[in-house]
């Protein structure tokens, strides 16, 4: 397992936002994280990304216990969070954005041609055909294209786990489809993807496994192939569905 969370809990003052959450994500799979507002999705993501520290439980990367206490720690372990719009500089072009902070150089000179070539290869390996001119400023791109650039950056930088928090929330229908296909391709190339979404269609379109959070607890982690939409809806809204889901302390379903 690339990433393994066991017994994660997190409190904000008296409020227990996450309680005893288990989740494992392997390379090459998309794990969708679903749950109602306030179920703890964002908190869980922030714990993995190093923005929050956990109050209890273990985070294992490649089977080894790791402390992730800052975004830098997370990045060092190959965990990359793709933020909606914060990640790109509008006045720079696509190549410049992709390599920002990790520019390739020849001596003290920037090697723009090498960067452009590498960017083109990366985008074509992801079958991205929507961005034709790599030298256009990011400001002139559509929302879907911007999201594509942000995601491609994660691939280019050899991240191993990419976390996407509602990447299609602000996109139109056609652009959503492009981003969904891109997410699927990330996993097919061997990256692990943790994908947070409200839209069950989007979840089913890309996910291999679906993890449902209910009031800070992990209701169930299911194979997408064995799951139906109504089961997931029940897990999100009541924490259980038939034999699946949470039981209370005495083994009685809440």
The CA distance from 128 to 221, in Å, is 31
Stretch that binds another protein, among 2-10, 128-136, 213-221, 245-253 (CB under 8 A): 128-136
The CA distance from 94 to 138, in Å, is 6
Q: How far is the CB of 227 from another protein (least distance, A)?
A: 6
Please work out the total of residues on this chain that contact another protein, with binding judged by CB under 8 A. Answer: 60
Q: Restricting to residues 204-223, name those near another protein by CB under 8 A.
A: 204-206, 223
Stretch that binds another protein, among 10-18, 33-41, 58-66, 171-179 (CB under 8 A): 171-179
Stretch that binds another protein, among 51-59, 116-124, 158-166, 246-254 (CB under 8 A): 116-124
Regarding 234 and contact with another protein (CB under 8 A), the answer is no
Regarding 11 and contact with another protein (CB under 8 A), the answer is no
The CA distance from 86 to 170, in Å, is 14
Regarding 83 and contact with another protein (CB under 8 A), the answer is yes
Number of H helices, E strands in the chain: 8, 14
Regarding 169 and contact with another protein (CB under 8 A), the answer is no
b vs e for 163-176, b when ≥16 Cβ sit within 10 Å of the residue's Cβ? bbbbbbeebeeebb
148 exposure class (CB count in 10 Å sphere: 0-12, 13-18, 19+) = buried
Regarding 185 and contact with another protein (CB under 8 A), the answer is yes
Of 163, 154, 157, nearest to 48 by C-alpha is: 163
Residue from 1, 24, 27, 200 in contact with another protein (CB under 8 A) = 200
Stretch that binds another protein, among 34-42, 47-55, 61-69, 92-100 (CB under 8 A): 92-100
Q: How far is the CB of 47 from another protein (least distance, A)?
A: 18
The CA distance from 6 to 58, in Å, is 5
Regarding 92 and contact with another protein (CB under 8 A), the answer is yes
72 exposure class (CB count in 10 Å sphere: 0-12, 13-18, 19+) = exposed
Residue from 135, 190, 253, 254 in contact with another protein (CB under 8 A) = 135
Give the Cβ contact number of residue 215 at 10 Å.
17
Distances (CA, A) of 23 to 8, 18, 48, 89, 199: 9, 12, 11, 34, 21
Residue from 24, 27, 51, 114 in contact with another protein (CB under 8 A) = 114
Binding site for another protein (CB under 8 A): 71, 83, 86-92, 96-97, 100-103, 105, 108-110, 113-114, 116-117, 120, 127, 129, 132-133, 135, 137, 139-142, 172-174, 176-177, 180-181, 184-185, 188, 200-206, 223-230, 232
């Amino acid at each position: 397992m690339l990433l393994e969370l066991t017994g994660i809990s997190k409190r904000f003052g008296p409020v227990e936002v996450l309680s005893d959450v288990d989740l494992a994500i392997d390379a090459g799979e998309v794990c969708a994280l679903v749950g109602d507002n306030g179920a703890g999705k964002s908190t869980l993501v922030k714990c993995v990304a190093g923005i929050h520290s956990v109050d209890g439980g273990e985070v294992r990367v490649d089977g080894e216990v790791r402390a992730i206490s800052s975004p830098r720690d997370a990045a060092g372990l190959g965990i990359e969070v793709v933020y909606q719009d914060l990640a790109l500089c509008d006045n720079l072009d696509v190549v410049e954005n992709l390599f920002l902070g990790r520019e390739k150089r020849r001596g003290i000179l920037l090697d723009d041609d090498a960067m452009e070539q590498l960017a083109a290869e990366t985008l074509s390996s992801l079958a991205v055909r929507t961005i034709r001119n790599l030298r256009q400023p990011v400001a002139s791109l559509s929302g879907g294209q911007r999201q594509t650039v942000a995601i491609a950056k994660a691939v280019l930088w050899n991240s191993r786990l990419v976390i996407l928090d509602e990447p299609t929330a602000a996109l139109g229908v056609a652009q959503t489809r492009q981003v969904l296909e891109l997410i699927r391709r990330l996993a097919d190339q061997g990256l692990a993807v943790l994908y947070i979404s409200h839209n069950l269609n989007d979840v089913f379109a890309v996910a291999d496994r679906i993890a449902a959070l209910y009031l800070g607890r992990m209701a169930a982690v299911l194979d997408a192939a064995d799951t139906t939409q109504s089961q997931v809806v029940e897990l999100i809204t009541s924490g259980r569905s038939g034999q699946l889901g949470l039981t209370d302390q005495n083994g009685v379903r809440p």
